[in-house]
Structure 1
C-alpha cells in the first residue's frame, strides 16, 4: 500500500497545470524557429555557392564534337557569324557553272523550281536559309531573270566575289541589317576572261531557333542540307538593292 501511495504522489508531482501549457508551447515554437532559421541559412549558402560558380565553358555534342561556350542571351548572334552567314549564302546562290579550264568538273544539272525553270544546286541548298514565305518567290525570280540558261550546259559560269560586308546593324528585336558590296563575274564563250556585274544588296537577317537535334548517321541528304543552313540560328527574311557610295 505504501508503494501505491508513493506512485500516486509521483504522478501528481508531474501533472501539468493549465498555466504551464503556454510557456511550453512558446518554447517549442522557439525551437522550431531556430531550426528553420538554420535550414534557411544553409540553403542560402548553398545557393550562393552555386550562383558564384563559373558557368560551364565546354559543350560536347552527341557526335563527339566539343565547343567552348560563354553565357549570352538566347537570341544573341555574334556579328562575325551574321556576316559569314550572309557571305556564304550569296556565294552559294550566285556562283555556279563550270569555269573555263575546268573541263573535268561535272556539269550541274540544277534543281527544278517551277515548270521547266531551274536553279543551281548551290542556290537551291542556300535557299533553306531564307524565310519560308520569301523562299519560293525568290527562287522563281532567280530562275527566271538571274541564272544564265547556259550554266546547265557547261557553257556559262558565274562567280560572286564579296568586296565589303558591313557590320550588322540592329533593325528590330533579334533582327539585323547587313549591307554587301560584291561583284558577279560571268564567264562565257564570248567573254572567256569574264565580265562584271555589280551586286549591291541590303540583307535583313533575324535570329531563329537553331536545330535542336544533332544529325544522326542515317540522316538524309535533305536533312543534312537544312541542318547545315540553319545551325547558326539565323534566317534571311528580306533582300533589297542599294546604291553603293563611291569613294573619291
Structure 2
C-alpha cells in the first residue's frame, strides 16, 4: 500500500515538474527578449546623430553616414603593403597562393585584369610553378601622396622594381613596376580568416581593416586613368 502511494506521488510530481520547467523556459525567453530590446535602445542612444542644417534655415537630426574619409598615410601604407604582398613570392610562398590571399584586397570586377597584369609583369617567370631557388621580391622606391579623385576615391603613384633571383642568377633581374594605383573606401572589410590561416592571411586581414580596395591600376604615363578598368 505504501509502495502504491509512493508511486502515485511520483506520478503526480511529474506534471508539476514539466509545468515548472516550461515556465522557466518562458521566463528565460522573455528575459532574453527584454535584454535584446534594452541593447537596441542603448545602441540608439550611443550612436550620435548628426546635426543637418538645411538651405531654408531649418535644422534636423539624421543618422550618421558611412565614413568614406581615410588618412593619407593609411592609404599610402595600404597600397605599399598590398603591392608588396602581391608581388613577392617564392617556392615556399608560390604566386598562386599569394594571389589567392592578397586578391581579397582587390575589387571583384577588377580581379581578373589585375591577375593578368601580375602574370604579364615578368613573362619569363613561372606563375603556376616556381622553380627551386627562384624568388621574386618587390622593392619600392617611392609612393606619392594620395590624390583625391572622388568621394572616397584616391590615386597613388608607385615607383618600384620586382627583383627576380634564381639559383643560377644571384644578382637578379629587375622589372620596373611604375603604376598609378586607384583605391576606394568600402563600408565593410572584404577580408576574412580561414580555419587554418597562414601568416599572409593575417597580414591581408590586418590590411583589410583599413576598409580600402584597389579598383584599377594604370601605367604611370596614362593621363586618362580612371575608375573604368576596361
TM (normalized to structure 2)? 0.57
How far apart are 1:182 and its partner, in Å?
0.7
Task: State the match for 1:193 in structure 2.
Answer: 171
Task: State the match for 1:115 in structure 2.
Answer: none
Inter-CA distance 138–201: structure 2 relative to 1 (3 Å threshold): same
Match of 2:208 among 230, 236, 247: 230
Q: Is 2:118 the counterpart of 1:142?
A: yes
Q: Is 2:83 the counterpart of 1:83?
A: no
How far apart are 1:89 and its partner, in Å?
1.1
Gaps of 5+ in 1: 1-49, 52-71, 99-106, 111-118
Task: State the match for 1:68 in structure 2.
Answer: none
**SS of the residue 1:193 aligns to:** strand
Match of 1:131 among 107, 118, 121: 107
Q: What is the CA–CA distance in structure 1 between the aligned matches of 2:101 and 2:207, rounded to whole Å?
A: 8
Q: What is the CA–CA distance in structure 1 between the aligned matches of 2:111 and 2:102, rounded to whole Å?
A: 10
Inter-CA distance 184–225: structure 2 relative to 1 (3 Å threshold): closer
1:109-124 matches, within 5 Å, as 110=94, 119-124=95-100
Q: What is the CA–CA distance in structure 2 between the aligned matches of 1:182 and 1:169, rounded to whole Å?
A: 19
Task: State the match for 1:176 in structure 2.
Answer: 154
Q: What is the CA–CA distance in structure 2 between the aligned matches of 1:187 and 1:215, rounded to whole Å?
A: 32
Match of 1:206 among 181, 184, 203: 184
Q: What is the CA–CA distance in structure 2 between the aligned matches of 1:183 and 1:145, rounded to whole Å?
A: 10
Report which of the two structures shows the higher radius of gyration computed on alpha carbons: 1
How far apart are 1:144 and its partner, in Å?
5.8
CA contact (8 A) 2:134 2:164 kept: yes
Q: What is the CA–CA distance in structure 1 between the aligned matches of 2:221 and 2:120, rounded to whole Å?
A: 23
Q: What is the CA–CA distance in structure 2 between the aligned matches of 1:122 and 1:187, rounded to whole Å?
A: 18
Task: Report Cα offsets for 1:106-128 as digits up to 9, x if no partner.
Answer: x33x4xxxxxxxx3422321111
Task: State the match for 2:55 in structure 1.
Answer: none
1:157-168 matches, within 5 Å, as 157-168=135-146
CA contact (8 A) 2:163 2:174 kept: yes
CA contact (8 A) 1:125 1:225 kept: no
TM (normalized to structure 1)? 0.53
Task: State the match for 1:26 in structure 2.
Answer: none
**SS of the residue 2:78 aligns to:** helix
Q: What is the CA–CA distance in structure 1 between the aligned matches of 2:183 and 2:120, rounded to whole Å?
A: 25
Task: Report Cα offsets for 1:25-76 as digits up to 9, x if no partner.
Answer: xxxxxxxxxxxxxxxxxxxxxxxxx99xxxxxxxxxxxxxxxxxxxx97111
| Number of residue pairs the alignment of both structures matches | 157
CA contact (8 A) 1:207 1:234 kept: yes
